Amino acid sequence: MLTSPQEARAGALAGLRVVDLSRVLGGPYCTQILSDHGAGVIKVEPPTGDETRTWGPPFVDGTASYFLGVNRNKQDIALDLSRDEGREVVLRLLADADVLVENFKTGTMEKWGLGYEAVLRERFPRLIHCRVSGFGADGPLGGAPGYDAVAQAMGGLMSVNGDPASGPTRIGIPIVDMTTGLNAVIGILLALAERQRSGLGQFVDATLFDTAVGLLHPHAANWFVNGQVPALAGSGHPNVVPYDKFETRSGEVFLGIGNDGQFRKFCNFVGAPELAADPRYASNGERDRNRVTLRASIGILLADRDAVELCEALLKAGVPAGPVNLLPQVLEHPHTRHREMVVEFDNGERGLGIPVKLSRTPGAVRAPAPGLGQHTREVLASLGYTAEHVDSLLDQGIALGR
As annotated, the active-site residues are 177
Q: Which residues contact 159 (CB under 8 A, 6 or more apart)?
A: 168, 230, 232
CA distances to 263, 268, 279 from 273, in Å: 10, 5, 12
H-helix or E-strand spanning residue 19:
strand 17-20
Ordered alpha helix ranges (H), 278-395: 284-289, 291-302, 307-316, 327-331, 334-338, 376-382, 387-395
Query: Is the dihedral angle over the CA atoms 46, 50, 53, 54 positive or is it negative?
Result: positive
**Alpha-carbon distance 339 to 135, whole Å?**
36
Q: Is the CB of residue 400 less than 8 Å from the CB of residue 376?
A: yes
CA distances to 36, 257, 269, 291 from 265, in Å: 41, 10, 6, 18
* C-alpha 317: how far from chain center: 32
Q: Which residues contact 280 (CB under 8 A, 6 or more apart)?
A: 286, 287, 289, 290, 293, 294
H-helix or E-strand spanning residue 166:
none
According to DSSP, residue 51 is labeled G
For the residues of 210-256, what is the DSSP string, one character each?
A: HHHHHT-TTHHHHHHHH-PPPPP-TT--SS-TTEEEEEETTEEEEEE
Dihedral, CA of residue 93, residue 109, residue 70 and residue 210, to nearest 10: -130
Cβ atoms within 10 A of the Cβ of 351, count?
Answer: 18
Q: Is the CB of residue 127 less than 8 Å from the CB of residue 121?
A: yes
**Alpha-carbon distance 232 to 167, whole Å?**
7
Give the bridge partners for 78, in sequence order. 45, 400
